[in-house]
Chains A and B, each alone.
Chain A
């Protein structure tokens, strides 16, 4: 089975927000980097790309042939996608296990596990 793991940052601090990031202890900060590195090196994982902050997003719609752009993500800032990775795993339990090791999941964000359509 192939899954995409969609990382929603939620309230989880990132180094982009120095104040929130500073509330983590130094050990916790190190663990975040170490955990992302370990996940990206896990067999079956194809690392995704990290996205810039949701505030930098531009949302595009086309209505009656006119292109409309709005500032910000399609969903609320807190619900916006922060990153993703691809996983090839035996089953959903394995995907859930990996998702639970992604730091965002324990720091106030959430991971959405979505199976990829197999043709």
Chain B
């Protein structure tokens, strides 16, 4: 990776956030940031990389934006703040540059925007992904993604969505919206698109740095780190490999350790929210041997917190692993998740263990009717074949 690419990855989000804070306009800020990087691409190889790339980029982008506003009076009317900035053309010192990435992330994840718009905006502005990259990651045409971004940026301005960290009484709800967006990005990647998972972890690290006292932020980062550490072992020959059958030599134990350190931090901060619990579960899952009674208890706590039947299903799996498939099956039979293929796959597995082969076969058939992922399908077909043998 060249210096410029690296600087782009590290600085884009901060640069854009600073410019939006200063200009009060997303579109103008984005264009100015792009222009600054284009100038850097031309000058840095020739003149050398500046001592402080960040200060150079902010100064250059800001001056370009001011030039544009001066040339364009309709723009000037929109960007009122600039009138007062007489000294704006001075070069900036790095220490003068505020870090406004938090304002940016809370703005992008504002609940007045549709979830898909929140995700796209976050990846574009904070992550620096191009429209084309985001479109590819979400399997939509580039034109569709471009339209989604334009509409979202228009709404930000037209509806008066504030560029700020929400006040304390709004913060818990708004923070969970931010974390949900990052986790959604991660899960897109976890399903196989690894670059998005890496991007989500990068976003998670930035959030943990910006909000060091929020346990759920550390919990989410820990959860992503531990799960992602098993990425290489999760697939073999295009089929999903179950945790207990995974090749542990493919696990990234450094990353698991990083995740566990984050989890400890979250617990020390008194965290017991859904991401902290999920991180604790992820951490327990990679222990050998696994403490299934403890895992079942934590799933129970998480289910009470979220009311999610999917979590109940996971609890049932843990109960079975702890040695009681009969009780696990009773839990599964109570759940109303008929359209969820994992329910039927789990039910099939439990019936198989209880030697109820005919019923197990029926449940595998039902799971196969519902499954979408090719890797999951191959796994289920292999299971069904084993049952018939």
Interface residue ranges, A against B (CB under 8 Å)? 1, 3, 89-93, 95-96, 113, 115
Contact = CB atoms under 8 A, between A and B. Distances in A.
Interface residues of B, number: 9
Contact of B158 (A90, A96, A115): A115
Nearest to A1: B160
Interface string B345-378: 0000000000000000000000000000000000
Given A92-B110, A92-B161, A115-B159, 10 more contacts: A1-B160, A89-B160, A90-B160, A91-B161, A93-B161, A93-B166, A93-B170, A95-B160, A96-B112, A113-B159
A113 to B, nearest CB: 8
A93 B162 contact: yes
Interface of B: 110, 112, 158-162, 166, 170
10 contacts: A3-B160, A91-B161, A92-B110, A92-B159, A92-B160, A93-B166, A93-B170, A95-B160, A113-B159, A115-B158
Contact of A115 (B160, B166, B170): B160
A63 to B, nearest CB: 32
Nearest to A114: B159
Interface SS, A side: mixed
B160 A91 contact: yes
Contact of B162 (A3, A92, A113, A115): A92
A87 to B, nearest CB: 11
Contacts of A95: 160
Contacts of A89: 160
Contacts of B161: 91-93
Contacts of A91: 160-162
